[in-house]
Copies of this chain bind each other. A is one copy, B any other.
Amino acid sequence: MITREEQHEAKEYAAAELEAAGVALTDAERAAIEVADFGLSRLREQGLMLLVYVNTDRYCAKELVLYPGQACPEHRHPPFDGGPGKEETFRCRRGLVTLLVDGRELVLRPGEQFTIPPDTLHSFRAGPDGAVVTEFSSASRDELDVFTDPAVRRATVVA
């Protein structure tokens, strides 16, 4: 659970970081930035901010924005609709992000990218200056994600 103030602050932070990364946004997009705390109620440590550009039944593109040191908890994208599950490419735009993929640690700096195979356990954490990461992928169905921590809830509740 997050407060309305935490949500507002996180959206403002994400919009400012995207602008600093050279990303032009429409007003509608700025308003549509999603704040996710994964039900853990420690947004600054566990969570992220998302902006979905497009998500068709074939491909998806998003921006992910993280506070300094903020992490997205370990999860995988299982098979669905007869396909192998979501495959995704993380491209760092700003700051630094450390990926943990199937036990292997990788650091991405601006201009560096990595593709995570479907149904593969992964988590990621921003460096000390936060991170802006573009995600290119096959179709995205966030609600199907399988998290390792059973306390995780993908839908954020705003108090």
Contacts and interface: CB of A to CB of B under 8 A. Distances in A.
Range of interface residues on A (Cβ < 8 Å)? 20 to 34
A89 B59 CA distance: 10
A50 to B, nearest CB: 15
A104 interface: no
Contacts of A113: 53-54
B59 A111 contact: no
Contact of A111 (B25, B87, B110): B25
Nearest to A18: B22
A101 to B, nearest CB: 16
A136 interface: yes
Contacts of A94: 24
A23 interface: yes
5 closest cross-chain pairs (CB), A and B: A22-B22, A24-B110, A24-B111, A61-B136, A59-B59
